[in-house]
Structure 1
Amino acid sequence: MDTIVLASLVLGILLLLLLASGVWVALSLLTLGMVLLGFFTSVPMGSLIASTLWDSSWSWALTSLPLFIWMGEILFRSKLSSDMFQGLAPWVSRFPGRLLHVNVLGCGIMAAVAGSSAVTCATIGRISVPELQGRGYPLNLTIGTLAGSGTLGLLIPPSIIMIVYGVTAEVSIARLFIAGVLPGLLLMLLFMGYTGLWSLLNRDKMPPSDPAVPFLERIYASRRLIPVVLLIALVVGSIYGGIATPTEAATIGVIGALALAAVTGSLTWDNFMEGLMAAMRTSCMISFIIACAACLTVAVAFVDIPRSLASWVDAMELSPYALLAVLGVFMLILGCFLEGISIIVLTSSVMLPMVQAAGIDLLWFGIFVVVLIEAAQITPPVGFNLFVLQSITGKDILAVTRAAIPFFLILILLLVLITAFPQLVTGLPQMMSN
């Protein structure tokens, strides 16, 4: 037991030192694994590290990752963001909050394309912030809706972070995608509900209403947005319907995105190569982190840290709710310093055995973790969405943070709701499997 305590202390101290020194997350994880194996076990470190890196780098589940990223890069370089604002604005102009809802709905659609929080926030923000400021909408609510809704990029499938969690926790990626649908829609409704309520209570801060737009004109304004929505429905629907695996659906998405870009005239050789290279860089970065995290997972397993921690938690006789609360606070703290993928791969080797020992469904826990990481995206000092919005608006980080606080609290409310009513997460996957 003394060895395990010492190894845990070395692990924690070395991790803090490596991250504080600015070393890449992947290399930090690999270094931690090698130190644990070299100093606290007698296994042949070289051959074990080499075989683990190889085995974790060719997982079939990971093949969907670069394809979904490439699909998002193709559409990101098209005219999707401007078409989205023009297409959505006429449909929400009569709701309380009016064009502010474009931020929520636009981020929801972009989330299904990009699968990334920061990309979703930046893409919609570049178009909507100047547009809404020019029309006299309050900047604090514009920033808040973008900060909160940008996090939908993690929850609305196809989500990159869900793919990483599925591979790490050995949970079906297709079932994770299905499980994220209802919480994602509920989160959009909560954001829109808060926005509408705020606008009703602060009518003096809202601009005058725009004239009503006839139905046929709304359809015409949405003409370029409709094909993208249909492509997303085809990609996600093929997974839900059991017609295609995530990898096959991602292939359909790439082909469809290329076709849409060609039809709209935004597919040039330069755009094609830029999107391909950006997708390759992002995919390699994520795959490198996952492979190095697998080495750390093997190392802590050989040292027996997960079983010891699980026994320690079991001896404390924490209820599942108390365990979730402790893990939730821990992950929010990590989220102040790390981005989502790093949090998952860094904590999975220790956290997942504890969760399993407490009898918590790993599928449900995956969505719980994703929502937690969403909340961490809008917490300082390393809330990536906050930095994106600071660069777009020119406001200081404190002003951006204050605007995001109500939406952070809404994310915490969603955590409470899915904990109290786990069927919100597990109901749809169970129904689809029957």
Structure 2
Amino acid sequence: MKQRGRHRRRRRGRAVRAFLTGTALALTAAATMISASQATVTGDPGALKPLTAAADTDALRLTEDPVPRASLDRLAAEMGPPVGVGTVLGGADRVLRDSVDCTAAEREALPVSPTAARAYCWNTDDTQGWRPGAVTTSGDADDDGLWGAHRVVLSGWSRASGPTPDRGLARIALVDAGNLNRLTYSWALLAVPVDGGRDYRGLVSQVSGMVWYQNKLLVTTDDGDRAALYVYDMNRIHRATVAGEAIGRVPGGWSAHGARYVLPAVAVYRAAGGADAPHPAAVSLDRSTTPDTLVAGEWTLDGSDQGARLWRYALDRDPGRAGLLAPDASGQVRATQAYRTKLSGVRGVLAYHGAWYLTRDADDGEGDGDGPGTMWRQDTEGARAARCGAAESRACWSPGTESLSYAEASGEVWAQSGRTLFSLPLASIDRSAE
């Protein structure tokens, strides 16, 4: 269980390293500014359109399918007692590179404007062949920004190459962000119990959306696993006891495709809205609503005539259902609010105090798809894009951001693009879009 400590930690910065980091980020932004100013995005999407018709909102329904408790208990009995997040962080055996150690190509994944306040790069040796996806943090998990005494970032990845059986496998990195000058991490495979809890298989999905709320981790799914959301319990992290590429029960113990830990799913949310039901491709947490809500957006094709749908689900207030979505009297989960944006190709989605922050790749379909993306701040009254350069270009954002996570306690937005993980104040996004 989470230890509820609200420890105030003084951030220890090293002056020289901070100067070098700031210089590196500024130089990257300046270099990218040139290409950004050559590809000004046009086409204001205007205001969000509320969706209130039953036909629109019914399509967003979900049904909850919990994994039987007996299956989870059997798996735990076979694998051994679960370990806590603190134990995983305490044994973290990998280190993220600081921005000053990132390559020029890796720094090109950073936004031009507003610039990143912090940036780190993943190691090539353990991310080669894997595709980066969603980010969530302990700022989502608890309103004090900590999980117990730990500041944590979770980073989702999926297997992009290799033997066919391995493609699409999903895993997360648990990152110890307590010392922002040295981020360490360990890998955990996302799994699904099978055979009544006697074994598990790997989750097969691109991890484009992910929210850690209280003790639950909600992960969007597509590809091999076509449910809308898989749910994991952060209090049910198990050790893999056998190293190797296999997954599940093996001679001598349990294997997790090279990861040191395994998270077995505890529930699944399936789309119940029929043929028109969108699968949430991007999700994030909004703490500015009562109750807290999970916001979602569908992934539409770039240049599509149909803009993306955006919606939200209420999170359950029942202590016995911590971290789960709130069902109605019929047991279905219904959207409490829904909109349509004229923007297509939406990737990352964030909502806070009525504003929706939407990221898109590249340049709105007008160019060749290379270069910076765009960040829009949209609500029911209109839209503004983050801007940069003398030409007021809108092509200012990171080119490959699929996920946004806002830590309300610190005011930071976390995201990743390619092998680059970065954060910046939400206030800087607002200023850029003014």
Tell me which interval the TM-score lies in, with the shorter structure as reference length: under 0.3
Could you say which structure has the greater relative contact order, defined with CA pairs below 8 angstroms and 6 or more residues apart? 1
Normalized per residue, the structure richer in helix is 1
Larger Rg: 1
Q: TM-score, normalised by structure 2?
A: 0.27
- Please report the TM-score for the alignment, with normalisation by the length of structure 1: 0.27
Structure in which a larger fraction of residues adopt strand: 2
